[in-house]
Amino acid sequence: MFRSPILTLILIGAITTNVTAQNQELLTLDQAIRISLDNNFSIQIARNNAAIDDNNQSYGNAGFFPELTAAASRSKRIEDSKSEFSGNSIPDRDVKGAETTTTNATASLNWTIFDGLGMFTTYEKLGELKKLGAIESRLTIENNVAQIITAYFNIVRQQKIAEVLESTLEVSEQRIQIAETRKDLGSGSEYDLLQARADYNADRAAVIRQEVTLEDAKILLNELMGRNVESTFSVQSEIPVNTDLVYGEIITRALSGNIELALAKTNERVTELEIQEIRAERFPEIDLNVGYGYNLNESAAGFMELSQNKGFNYGLTARVTLFDGFDLERRRQNAEIALKNRRLSIREQEQRIKAGINSEFNNYLSALRLVELEEENLSYAEQTVDIALERFKLGTINSIELREAQRTLIDAESRLIQARFEAKAAEAELFRLMGIGSSQVDR
């Protein structure tokens, strides 16, 4: 029986590729998420920003503590001094290169003891900003996890498609063998054999293109995980789908746990505190001042060769703005408008969540129905190919009819894979909208 050397090399290459894939490290979805949480650059940046917000919440930043400063200076002055006095009671003086030394040292404490309770409001606002930073960090993590889940199961999808094309390649190989045997026996034609080989080459080309698509999908996942894009790995073989999601429960959990909604509510609270800070500026500010000073003057040309002063000082300072061109009122009005916008944003986010859940849940249900339907279609298509292959061996159908049965099987398997991927993608998005961590997603 004739077999092309090129055909043999191709089959050896396919076998070698499968063995290599089996020897690669199996990367689970949990592992991919953990690697991403440690290495992803966006997540690291978000965590660093949250750490900044954490550091900013302090009593000192809010203005509770006094400000203590100290300063010291020492200066010299060299000059010629000439003094002439009327009468003879004081002798005239003419000093060349007289040195004058001045030494000063001060320490002062300024403590705002009342500012209309603004410092308490500021501290509370810093706490809300700290919470805001933590929420934004979690939002970045959740978005990344959603991308990881989609990218991971896209690899599974592309891998399954590659397996479908490989199995089709096996059928095409059997078709070549049958065509060669029939030609050797005189019951077949050169045309059927050439057509079989051409179709095999077309199937092999599809396998090669799919391998490139699969590698691109792996590169994307490596990028999302923040590791070397050339890292090799294999993934699980199936796309599991949770079939027990309930619409009402999803809505309830989303309205209480959605991260973007929590972000909007925290922004509302921050704006409320900003309004309180502005109102505090209407009250007087009272500062306690305490200081200590030291001053020493040494002069070779003056009437006194040395002058020294030292001692404490203390007092209270009260300040109140009587008129600022209505700027404070303008800021208050703008803050009130901003608060209205924050509250509208919460309502808008709630509506967006409900719309997103409604849309994704419909996609989820449709995908589940398609999975069930395509599983049935796949069973029919597999039986059809088996029957067509047997009939082709017997010569009761031609190569075109066998090829059509092959295409039907490829389409059925591809649609089933796509339906499962769409169901999983919708499921992952629903969990994201609910604000449920990745560990809660059924894999």
The tens digit of pLDDT for each residue in 11-25 reads 444 444 454 445 678
Rounded to the nearest 5 percent, the helix, strand and coil shares of the chain are 65, 15, 20
Looking at every residue in the chain, the average pLDDT score rounds to 88
What are the angstrom distances between the C-alpha of 378 and each of 304, 382, 405, 409?
111, 6, 12, 7
Predicted pLDDT at 62: 94
Residue 318 carries which DSSP code? E
Can you list the domains of the chain with their CATH numbers? 5-39+115-284+320-440 (1.20.1600.10)
Predicted pLDDT at 84: 63
Closest by alpha carbon to 222, among 24, 46, 47, 49?
24
Q: Which two tokens stand for residue 240?
A: 């599991």
Place of tokens 């079989």: 196
**How many alpha carbons fall within 13 Å on the CB side of residue 34?**
6
Instruction: Name residues whose C-beta falls within 8 Å of residue 102's C-beta, 6 or more positions apart in sequence.
Output: 73, 74, 75, 76, 77, 295, 296, 297, 298
Confidence of residue 1 (pLDDT cuts 50, 70, 90): very low
SS3 113: strand
Predicted pLDDT at 96: 74
Residue burial 152-164, b: 16+ Cβ < 10 Å; e: rest: bbbbbbbbbbbeb
Q: Which two tokens stand for residue 178?
A: 């049958």
What are the angstrom distances between the C-alpha of 294 and each of 75, 180, 290, 291?
14, 111, 14, 10
List the 67-83 sheet strands across, edge first: 67-83, 93-114, 285-299, 306-319
SS3 98: strand
Predicted pLDDT at 13: 45
Predicted pLDDT at 22: 54
Classify the phi-psi angles of 409: left when phi > 0, otherwise alpha if psi is within -120 to 50, otherwise beta.
Answer: alpha
Helix (H) or strand (E) holding 254: helix 247-257
Strand partners, 297: 102, 307
Yes or no: say if 436 and 256 are a contact pair by the CB < 8 Å rule: no
Task: Name the phi and psi angles at 115, rounded to 5.
Answer: -140, 35
Chain centroid to CA 222: how far? Answer: 15
The tens digit of pLDDT for each residue in 205-228 reads 999 999 999 999 999 999 999 999
The tens digit of pLDDT for each residue in 287-338 reads 999 999 999 888 766 566 788 889 999 999 999 999 999 999 999 999 999 9
